[in-house]
Amino acid sequence: MTPTFVHLQDAAAQPAEVLLVFAADAAPSEPGSEPRPELLAADLALRSAAAAVLASGEYKAAQNELVLLHAPAGLAAKRLLLSGLGKQGSADLRKLRRAAGAAVRYSKARGLRSLAAVLPETLAPAAAAARAVVEGAILADWDPDMYKSDRKDGSLEALTLLGGDAAAEQGVREGTAMAQSQNFARTLVHEPGNVLTPTVLGERTAAMCAEVGLACEVYSTAKLEELGMGAFLGVAQGSDEPPALIVIRYEPENVPEGVTLGLVGKAITFDTGGISIKPADGMDKMKYDMAGGAAMLGAMRAIALLKPEVRVLSVICSAENMPSGRAYRPGDVLRAMSGKTIEIINTDAEGRLVLADGLHYAKQLGATHLIDAATLTGAISVALGHHNAGAYASDEESWRKFADGLLVSGEGFWRMPLGEEYLEQMRSQIADLLNAGGRYGGSVTAAMFLKEFAGQTPWIHLDIAGTAW
Ligand code: BES
Ligand code: MN
Ligand code: ZN
């Protein structure tokens, strides 16, 4: 389903199956009285069709609160669906996105697969609002029931946006590219470990790259050996499934030399912990230990479609972390591609090992700025819970750019500290580094480990273990 944009002010004349209009609660007229739900649309016909239910006191425009009216008076639409954003004063694009998502889930559950949404006029510029509505709708359209035998395709058939100006059309294009790329990543994350092996991840990546016009190479063990990726190889050696080293390049024409963004992703297709094996409870979820890699693949897909004027390359390190007669052991010493030696004290701290080689290789391929994403530590969930991911930045300029991006995207990240003092926890007696720094500050010590391999290159590290699921 690709959303369409109709620049049309007369929403009342729209013969939609479901006409979606957003609402918010205005402040109470006097202290102590109830908040008053209002439409985020000035159209008089819409207002009069919704007037009775809004005045009834039965509907509050709280976030994700919905009400469906049949045969709304004076409208060509068959149904009018109101979706709330909460208090008018604090309504923003993030809430609009959620309200659009709630409306889509509600409609789909009732077999209603064709929606026309009226862009709210006052909340934000039309392009930003259109983008948020389209993102919310397409993200909500995604279903995880891919292996149910009685699966019925209930996905949206049509989404039309009404109102706004010509700029809103660009917002629709951006929102579509972003949300469909996120759904691409989510599909990969939900694939079980027996289906999505490193090899299959490589195949899926190659197909995606062919579809959107990206250059892509997928390597395996021989290439890792040739490059001297001893850390990555150490993790991969315990599995019968060969590893995959995926390299993607986005190279627009006529972009000045000098800056190449390198996106590096951890893609452990299943993390048993290896010889330092994890407890059975919840181990099934460790199929999502490739979510950092999936996020970067989604990002590359969106980049290919949106065509920013900057060179981007991506390095995805994929392996399975298994215990076996060939697995790496606690006490082993590995030599990373950079030459640094690492004493393994816990084979479950495998993500930083594959990333150590991935970050180094991305620099060798020409990355001048690095971002990595990884489901790296349980410790980040202890620190931040499930609503913000941890973000680390090597320098203030990189952080500023990243933080600006957060304002546009509405993503939840919280900046975490770096500091040489944390490396004390990772001193080995016989090698350059230990691969784990103990119980305290577990996400920070992992980040400091990675920093040893990012070196002097401006670098952002995203620990998404608490939010990826
Ligand atoms: N993949 C895990 C991190 C993880 C834990 C992701 C829970 C999602 C949910 C990672 O490879 C890991 O096992 N990290 C260890 C590091 C420790 C051994 C230093 C951890 O967090 O326990
Ligand atoms: Mn692990
Ligand atoms: Zn892991």
**pLDDT, tens digit (0-9, with 9 covering 90-100), for 59-82:** 999 999 999 999 999 999 999 999
Q: Report the relative pairing of strands 433-434 and 341-343 from DSSP bridges.
A: parallel
463 lines ligand 1 (CB under 6 A): no
**pLDDT, tens digit (0-9, with 9 covering 90-100), for 400-422:** 999 999 988 888 999 999 999 99
What rounded mean pLDDT belongs to the chain? 96
CA triplet 230, 342, 440: central angle to 5 degrees?
130
Torsion of CA 418, 419, 424, 426, to 10 degrees: 20
Nearest to 289 by CA among 318, 332, 256: 318
Tokens of 131: 């983008």
Catalytic residue among 131, 266, 352, 363: 352
134 lines ligand 1 (CB under 6 A): no
**Ligand 1 atom nearest 375 alpha carbon:** 6
Tokens of 351: 């993500």
244 lines ligand 1 (CB under 6 A): no
Q: How confident is the model at residue 268 (pLDDT cuts 50, 70, 90)?
A: very high
On the question of pLDDT at 451 being above 90, the answer is: yes
At residue 251, the pLDDT reads 97
At residue 121, the pLDDT reads 87
**pLDDT, tens digit (0-9, with 9 covering 90-100), for 1-44:** 778 777 777 899 999 999 999 999 998 878 888 889 999 999 99
Q: State in Å: Cα 364 to ligand 2 middle.
A: 26
Q: How many Cα atoms occupy the beta-carbon half-sphere of 197 within 13 Å?
A: 11
Residue nearest to atom 22 of ligand 1 (CA): 378
**pLDDT, tens digit (0-9, with 9 covering 90-100), for 130-153:** 999 999 999 999 999 999 999 988
Q: State in Å: Cα 218 to ligand 1 middle.
A: 26
Three-state SS letters, 137-148: HHHHHCCCCCCC
Q: What is the CA radius of gyration of the chain?
A: 25
260 lines ligand 1 (CB under 6 A): no
Report how far residue 236's alpha carbon sits from residue 154's, in angstroms, rounded to the nearest whole number: 39
At residue 1, the pLDDT reads 75
**pLDDT, tens digit (0-9, with 9 covering 90-100), for 219-239:** 999 999 999 999 999 999 999
Q: State in Å: Cα 106 to ligand 3 middle.
A: 35
Average pLDDT over residues 92-106: 96
378 lines ligand 1 (CB under 6 A): yes
Q: How confident is the model at residue 435 (pLDDT cuts 50, 70, 90)?
A: very high
Report how far residue 412's alpha carbon sits from residue 455's, in angstroms, rounded to the nearest whole number: 27
At residue 165, the pLDDT reads 84
Report how far residue 387's alpha carbon sits from residue 383's, in angstroms, rounded to the nearest whole number: 11
Tokens of 381: 């969930």
Report how far residue 366's alpha carbon sits from residue 364's, in angstroms, rounded to the nearest whole number: 5
**pLDDT, tens digit (0-9, with 9 covering 90-100), for 114-125:** 999 999 988 989
Length of the chain: 469
